Amino acid sequence: MGLPYFRIDGGTRLRGSVRIDGAKNAALPIMAASLLCDGEVILHDVPDVSDVRFLAELLTKLGSEVERRPDGSMRLVVRDEMSSHAEYDVVRKMRASICVLGPLIAKRRKAQVALPGGCAIGDRPVDIHVRAMQRLGADVDLVSGDIIAKAKKLRGAEMFLGGPFGSTVLGTANAMMAACLAEGVSVIEMAACEPEVVDLANFLNKCGASISGHGTPRIVIEGVRELKGCEYRVIADRIEAGTFMVAAAITNGDVKIENCRLDHLVAFADRLAAIGVNVERNNDTDVVTVSSSRRLEPVDVTTQPFPGMPTDLQAQLMTLLCLADGNSIVTEKIFPDRFLHVAELNRMGAHLRKEGPTVIVQGVKKLVGAPVMASDLRASAALVLAGLAARGTTIINRIYHIDRGYCRIDEKLRELGGDIQRLEADD
Ligand code: EPU
C-alpha cells in the first residue's frame, strides 16, 4: 500500500452545505478529563480524527475503556488506575498528550508524562504547565525526558499562568483539571479564554466540579471530593468552520456552513468582512452562509489569544490574501515560527516574504497547481485551499498531517463540488 496523497484540480466554485464536526481541541482535553471521573462519560460530536485516536490509545494504556458506539458517540470508563505513565511513544505523536498531566496528578497522586519535544510549528515549552502543578503542591522532576510529578495531596492555590506569548490553552486546562480535586480554592490569573477552555469547564461542572469565571482571564475553582461521569456534547470546531469559510471565499463560491459558532469566530469574521467576503448568519441559528465575488481587498492580520484572530487560522487566511488586490501583512504573535506554508505557497505562484514573525503578502492574480508538501495540520489545510483556487493540478504529499485534525475534509469538499481525490502513491 502506497502513501496517501491528495490530487486537486482547481478552479471549481464550491456550492452547497457542509456540517462542521465537534472541535478536536475541545474533545482532547475533555477526553483526558474523563480520567478524573468515577463514572461513565459519554461524549457526542467527538471528531473521528487521528489525534483523537492517539489520545484514545493513550487513555487505554492508562487503564480506561474507550469505545466508539454505533451512534458515533464515545464512551469512556476508567477500569484501572495502576498506571500513571504517558510514554514517549504516544506523546511524541501528539503534543496534546500533555493534558493528561493534571488529571493523573490529581486523581492518582502521581504522573509521569514524557516531555513532548519540538514540533513543526516551533518550540513548544511546557514550563507553565509544570509551574501550575507546583503551585498546587506537586513535586516535579525531570528524569530521562519524562516529567515526574508527585503529590500526597493537592492544595488550592492562586497562580498566574501568563507566558511570553500570553495565556496558554492546555496549561489552563491542566491547572483547571488538577484544581478540581485539590483541597480548597484555586484562582487562575491570566487564564486562557478560548471557547475550548470554556467547554472543558462546562464538562467538568456537569461532572460535579465547581468552576466559575471560565471564559474570562480569572478562573476560580473550588475543589470537590470527587467527580462523577456525565453525558456531554462537544462544541463545534471553529477552526474547521473557518477553513470552510475560506474554501468558499477563495473559490468565489456560495456555501452554507452548519454547526458554525460565529460568536467563536468574531475576529476572523471581522477580517473576512474587511477582505470583502460576505458572511451571513441565518436568523439566529448556527448556520452561516459565506459567499464571495471576485475582488478581495488586502488587510493586515495579527494572531492573538481569544477573542483575537486564532493562530490556527493564520495559514488559511494568508492563502486567501495571496489572491487579494494589493499587499497584506500577516503577523504571528502566538507561534512566531509557524510559517512552514510560506515556501510551499510560493511554489504555487504566491508572492510571500517572511521577515521575522511577519509575512508580507503581495497579492497575485492567480495561483498555479504544483506538487507540494504538507508540514503541519493547519499548513496542510492552507495548501488544500490553495489547490482548490489554483489553475491546474496540485499534488499534496504527507496528508497524514491533515487527517490529524480534519474529519473527511476531502469528502466534504467533494460534496461541495471540489475536485479533490485521495490517492495512493502507486495509483
Ligand atoms: N507556552 C509557553 N509555556 C508553556 C505553554 C505554552 O511558553 O508552558 C507558549 C507557547 O509556546 C505559545 C503560547 O504559549 O507561544 C500559546 O501556546 P498554548 O499553550 O496556548 O498552546 P497549546 O495549548 O499547546 C493549543 C492548541 C493549538 C493552538 C494553541 C493556541 C490544542 C490541542 N492545541 O495548543 O492547536 O494553536 O492552543 O491557540 O488545543 C492545532 O490545532 O493545529 C493546534 C496547534
pLDDT digits (tens, 9 = 90+) for 189-224: 999 999 999 999 999 999 999 999 999 999 999 999
Residue 392, C-alpha cell as written in the block = 491546474
Within a 13 Å sphere around the CA of 110, how many CA atoms are in the beta-carbon half?
A: 7
CA 272 to chain centre: 20
In sequence order, what are the beta bridge partners of 360?
A: 329, 353
Residue 427 above 90 pLDDT?
Answer: no
> Atom of ligand 1 at shortest distance to CA of 173?
23
Average pLDDT of the segment spanning 224-239: 98
Hunting for cell 488586502 — which residue is that?
A: 298
What are the pocket residues of ligand 1 if the criterion is a CB atom closer than 6 Å to any ligand atom? 25, 28, 96, 124-129, 163-165, 168-171, 192, 196, 311-312, 334-335, 377-378, 405
Average pLDDT of the segment spanning 310-318: 98
For ligand 1, atom 24, name the residue with the nearest CA.
Answer: 170
For 64-83, the pLDDT digits (tens) are: 999 999 999 999 999 999 99
Average pLDDT of the segment spanning 290-315: 96
Q: How far is Cα 361 from Cα 279, in angstroms, rounded to an integer? A: 23
pLDDT reported for residue 118 = 60
> Atom of ligand 1 at shortest distance to CA of 25?
39
For residue 164, give every residue at least 6 positions away whose Cβ sits within 8 Å of its Cβ, in sequence order, or none. none
For ligand 1, atom 36, name the residue with the nearest CA.
Answer: 312
Q: Are strands 139-143 and 146-150 parallel, antiparallel or unpaired?
A: antiparallel
How confident is residue 2, by pLDDT bands cut at 50, 70 and 90?
Answer: confident
Extract long-range pairs of 75-80: CB within 8 Å, 24+ residues apart.
75/40, 75/41, 75/42, 75/43, 76/31, 76/34, 76/40, 76/41, 76/43, 77/39, 77/40, 77/41, 77/229, 78/34, 78/35, 78/37, 78/38
Q: How far is Cα 322 from Cα 353, in angstroms, rounded to an integer? A: 11
Q: How far is Cα 401 from Cα 25, in angstroms, rounded to an integer? A: 15
pLDDT reported for residue 71 = 93
Residue 120 above 80 pLDDT?
Answer: no
Average pLDDT of the segment spanning 316-325: 98
Residue 117 above 70 pLDDT?
Answer: no
> Atom of ligand 1 at shortest distance to CA of 336?
15
CB 221 within 8 A of CB 176: yes
Compute the distance from residue 97 Cα to the ligand 1 centre, in Å.
12
Compute the distance from residue 322 Cα to the ligand 1 centre, in Å.
26
pLDDT reported for residue 277 = 98
Out of 37, 99, 119, 260, pick the active-site residue. 119
For ligand 1, atom 18, name the residue with the nearest CA.
Answer: 168
Query: 393 to each of 6, 336, 362, 387, how far by Cα in Å?
Result: 10, 31, 23, 7
Query: H or E element: which one contains 174?
Result: helix 169-180
pLDDT reported for residue 281 = 94
For residue 355, give every residue at least 6 positions away whose Cβ sits within 8 Å of its Cβ, in sequence order, or none. none
Residue 123 above 90 pLDDT?
Answer: no
In a 3-state reduction of DSSP, which class is residue 388? helix
Is 260 labeled as catalytic in the residue annotation?
no
pLDDT reported for residue 425 = 82
Q: How far is Cα 254 from Cα 230, in angstroms, rounded to an integer? A: 39
pLDDT reported for residue 248 = 98
Closest listed residue to residue 223, CA positions, set 184, 188, 174: 184
Please provide residue 217's backbone torsions phi and psi, each rounded to the nearest 5 degrees.
Answer: -75, 0
The structural domains of the chain, ordered by start, are 3-21+237-425 (3.65.10.10), 24-233 (3.65.10.10)
The mean of the pLDDT values for the chain is 96
For 255-297, the pLDDT digits (tens) are: 999 999 999 999 999 999 999 999 999 988 999 999 998 799 9
For 133-172, the pLDDT digits (tens) are: 999 999 999 998 899 999 999 999 999 999 999 999 999 9
For ligand 1, atom 20, name the residue with the nearest CA.
Answer: 168
The residue type found at 68 is: R
Compute the distance from residue 196 Cα to the ligand 1 centre, in Å.
12
Compute the distance from residue 150 Cα to the ligand 1 centre, in Å.
24
Residue 30 above 90 pLDDT?
Answer: yes
For 166-190, the pLDDT digits (tens) are: 999 999 999 999 999 999 999 999 9
pLDDT reported for residue 294 = 74
For ligand 1, atom 26, name the residue with the nearest CA.
Answer: 25
The secondary structure of 79-113 as a DSSP string is: ------EE-HHHHTT-GGGGGGHHHHHHHHSEEEE
- Residue 94's CB is within 10 A of a number of other CB atoms, namely 20
Compute the distance from residue 183 Cα to the ligand 1 centre, in Å.
28
Residue 345 above 80 pLDDT?
Answer: yes
pLDDT reported for residue 1 = 66
- pLDDT > 90 fraction of the chain, expressed in percent and rounded: 92
